[in-house]
Structure 1
Amino acid sequence: MSHPVAVIGAGPFGLSTAAHLKARGIPVRVFGDPMVSWRDHMPAGMLLKSTPVASSIDAPQPGHRLADYCDAAGIKRLVTDEDIIPVETFIGYGEWFRDRLVPELEQVRVVSVDRHTAGGFELKLDSGELFTARAVVVATGLSSLAHLPAELAEAVPEGPAPTGPVSHSSQEHDLTRYAGKDLIVVGAGQSALETAALAAEAGAQVRVVSRGRGKVAFGAPPWKQPRLRPESPFGRAWSLWALSSYPHPYRHLPAAARHYLVRRVLGPLGAWWLRDRFQGKVQVSEVDRIVRADASEGSPRLTVRTLAGRPEDLSADHVIAATGYRVDIAAMDFLGHGLRTRLAVSRGTPRLGAGYVSSVPGLYFTGLPAAASYGPVMRFVCGTEFASPRLAAHLAASHGQTGAPGTGRG
């Protein structure tokens, strides 16, 4: 029997990729905790900013979209731009998708991946098993990529933690524990604004600190979207339509342009439905920058430079950094040192060619690590529709195995 392909990660991109590989008759072993980032690293009560059209996991055959899950689960169909998706519903959808298309998922952790002397890759699992894979797909999502700015990191040299003075938003699942406390949330994106609103609703006194260009703002509701522009999963705009419909030319742009667009397109902006829950309930301090953070006396204190250029101190019982994620190959410590040193990278992200393959033949990346090569659509679940069938087709062709192609339409 030929060596299988290993898919590392069991979120939307990992599950979608595995389903497409299986549909082509390619032996696959899939590793990970299904939907773990959504289940354990998002706040309870969260609602997805993405619309239903942007939230279906791509499958190689019809019948596996979010609306199909709603029908199967006997819940309200989520199909229009005005329908809002509770995170619990999305987690249930991902697990339903797994049960139907990737039931053989192995809930074990991949400890290491290295080149095998005889070709392919050697993987070690936390069960102690060693096995050889002919190719590896890294679909680990947000795991280990939480970003803490240097000015906040200096206050917690041991790292962010919910039990310490500073945490990252990915570590905050139950915000009710901040009831009656003063809380600072750093950031201006949906994660920051929704975390702040949920904490305020739980009884905390909350201040959002937005830095630099990160002004607190909210998107327009669907009925106010401009009608004379093309539709995209993210709204009506020519740029959004181009980036979501044609990701394949993106990797040919100059590196500076690619990284800029990933950072700025669909940047910090609260969902339209969050405005009423936020305004009047959460204080906002828009500052030029955070100069330093200090927690030497137990409680965190931020020294900021105001927009007027004056220093100001802000204190609280706790600081949550809703400062996003940053792809860094160095943080993917399950990849062996030899592999990491052979990878061509651009600002810490893998440089990917056609079919999502890296500079190491047989090693693929999908989801967030692919965004610098294929554009902002890779940050969202709807990116599976472009990525998964193309990755599966490239892998099959490179191993001389065509199989039955998937439709790429879930």
Structure 2
Amino acid sequence: MIHPVAVIGAGPYGLSTAAHLRARGIPVRIFGDPMVSWRDHMPAGMLLKSTPVASNIDAPQRGYRLVDYCDAAGIPRLVTDEDIIPAATFVAYGEWFQQKLVPELERVRVVSVERRGTAGFELKLDSGEQFTARAVVVATGLSGLAHVPRELAAAAPDGPTPTGPVSHSSQHHDLSRFSGRELIVVGAGQSALETAALAAEAGASVRVVARGRGAVDFGDPPWNQPKLRPESPFGRAWSLYAFSYHADPYRYLPPQARHFLVRRILGPLGAWWLRDRFEDKVRTREVRRIIKSEAREEGSVLRVETPGGRIEELTADHVIAATGYRVDLAAMDFLGHELRARLAVSRGTPKLGAGYVSSVPGLYFTGMLGGSSYGPIMRFVCGTEFASPRLAGHLAKVHG
């Protein structure tokens, strides 16, 4: 009996990987809710920071780019760097990609994965089914990886919630709940700045608290990009070109350098088009650090140290931590304890070899889960162009 390959996750990386495996004639079972993080864990009205060329889900054949979806849906083409992509359009594109190239998607959850000797892996589904897979690709994206720093989590001992004193930005789809209320958004990246702008437009009084002097900034518009540098999906720069098209050597860098670069390259920065919606509508407060958060009768209180060294308290009805995501295998409880114990890790992230395979033969990780091994491109949709054909090729060679 030929066991299938199991792909866990139905976001851009899971869908792209499954499409490449299917094109090679490899039996695949893919599990998940298509585009769920994009659809349910981002605020309504959000626009993508990435440009159209950086927003294509890679397919094994022509005709499945974002512009192809626009043509099929009869909507204006999104082509140039000045075209801004609504998140709702990108979700619809991903669902169209799934229907066309991965129609056998199973909308069930994988509850456990265990190694089964030399036969592969034993998977259990929440439907009650158990089956054996010859290989497993983990492409769960941001699911379960929302990061709330310890100093902010102190105000929410039972965990961040939209109705409590502190939440994570991924817990909000409808920001109109904050109309007429005081809101603090902690962070300086696109998620923080766009969440703040959308909440202000919904009627909230918003203040962004950013750690570090000069922390709140916006990128240059496309017409101000340098011309005499190579193009990449992220802009014109030699480093961005290398990270985009030559990511294989990244995993040979020293661990400290790999983890630093994957965090900092294309790090906290607002999109050029967001500046006008943000300035004069959202207050900003730059602090050296946040010392502690507390829930009091008057609301959520942040104790901060100012750049000048003073200790101050900031109060609001609610605090949103737009503090990103952190890969941690301990959070992936569907992977059996024995399996996780066998995985080589670096700061909680899987160490991957050629073709995105982990230290456990037959177990692959892609998307954000591969960032510490393959670099910052894995944080973005356009990384599917690099990752999916290589992963599928390696898997076909070893397990095909």
- Scaled by the length of structure 2, the TM-score of the pair is 0.99
| Aligned 8 A contact 1:47 1:84 in 2 | yes
Tell me the distance in 2 between the aligned counterparts of 1:118 and 1:369: 25
Report the counterpart of residue 383 of structure 1 in structure 2.
383
TM-aligned CA deviation for residue 230 of structure 1: 1.1
1:166-188, Cα deviation, whole Å (9 max, x unpaired): 00000010001100000000000
| Aligned 8 A contact 2:213 2:307 in 1 | no
Tell me the distance in 2 between the aligned counterparts of 1:81 and 1:358: 36
Report the counterpart of residue 404 of structure 1 in structure 2.
none
Tell me the distance in 1 between the aligned counterparts of 2:298 and 2:332: 32
Report the counterpart of residue 275 of structure 2 in structure 1.
275
| Aligned 8 A contact 1:184 1:319 in 2 | yes
Question: Within 5 Å, which residues of 2 pair with 1:42-81?
Answer: 42-81=42-81
| Aligned 8 A contact 1:113 1:122 in 2 | yes
Report the counterpart of residue 336 of structure 1 in structure 2.
336
Report the counterpart of residue 112 of structure 1 in structure 2.
112
SS across alignment from 2:270: coil
SS across alignment from 1:276: helix
SS across alignment from 2:260: helix
Report the counterpart of residue 408 of structure 1 in structure 2.
none
SS across alignment from 2:112: strand
Tell me the distance in 2 between the aligned counterparts of 1:160 and 1:213: 27
Q: Percent identity?
A: 77
Question: Within 5 Å, which residues of 2 pair with 1:8-407?
Answer: 8-117=8-117, 119-212=119-212, 215-297=215-297, 299-399=299-399, 401=400
Tell me the distance in 1 between the aligned counterparts of 2:182 and 2:387: 43
TM-aligned CA deviation for residue 356 of structure 1: 0.1
1:304-327, Cα deviation, whole Å (9 max, x unpaired): 000010001000000000000000
TM-aligned CA deviation for residue 212 of structure 1: 2.7
1:290-342, Cα deviation, whole Å (9 max, x unpaired): 00000143721000000010001000000000000000000111100001000
Tell me the distance in 2 between the aligned counterparts of 1:37 and 1:264: 23
Q: Which runs of 5+ in 1 are unaligned?
A: 402-410
| Aligned 8 A contact 1:43 1:173 in 2 | yes
Aligned residue pairs: how many? 400
Tell me the distance in 2 between the aligned counterparts of 1:216 and 1:338: 43
TM-aligned CA deviation for residue 379 of structure 1: 0.3
TM-aligned CA deviation for residue 117 of structure 1: 3.9
TM-aligned CA deviation for residue 118 of structure 1: 5.2
| Aligned 8 A contact 2:291 2:305 in 1 | yes
Partner AA of 1:162 in structure 2: P
| Aligned 8 A contact 1:187 1:214 in 2 | no
4+ residue segments displaced more than 2 Å:
none
Report the counterpart of residue 406 of structure 1 in structure 2.
none
Q: Which runs of 5+ in 2 are unaligned?
A: none
Partner AA of 1:185 in structure 2: V
SS across alignment from 1:352: coil
| Aligned 8 A contact 1:4 1:29 in 2 | yes
RMSD of aligned residue pairs (Cα, Å): 0.9
CA gap 1:349/1:180 in 2 versus in 1, 3 angstroms: same
Tell me the distance in 2 between the aligned counterparts of 1:118 and 1:370: 25
| Aligned 8 A contact 1:70 1:78 in 2 | yes
SS across alignment from 2:236: coil
TM-aligned CA deviation for residue 24 of structure 1: 0.5
Tell me the distance in 2 between the aligned counterparts of 1:95 and 1:298: 44
| Aligned 8 A contact 2:355 2:395 in 1 | yes
1:30-84, Cα deviation, whole Å (9 max, x unpaired): 0000000000000000000000000000000000000000000000100100000
Partner AA of 2:56 in structure 1: S
1:344-374, Cα deviation, whole Å (9 max, x unpaired): 0000000000000000000000000100000
CA gap 1:379/1:131 in 2 versus in 1, 3 angstroms: same
Partner AA of 1:203 in structure 2: G
SS across alignment from 2:198: helix
| Aligned 8 A contact 1:287 1:307 in 2 | yes
TM-aligned CA deviation for residue 214 of structure 1: 6.8
SS across alignment from 1:334: coil
| Aligned 8 A contact 1:67 1:78 in 2 | yes
1:3 paired with 2:8, answer no
Report the counterpart of residue 405 of structure 1 in structure 2.
none
SS across alignment from 1:300: strand
| Aligned 8 A contact 2:49 2:190 in 1 | yes
| Aligned 8 A contact 2:366 2:387 in 1 | yes
TM-aligned CA deviation for residue 195 of structure 1: 0.1
1:124-153, Cα deviation, whole Å (9 max, x unpaired): 000011110000000000000000001011
- The answer to which structure, 1 or 2, has the higher relative contact order (CA under 8 A, 6+ apart) is 1
TM-aligned CA deviation for residue 229 of structure 1: 1.1
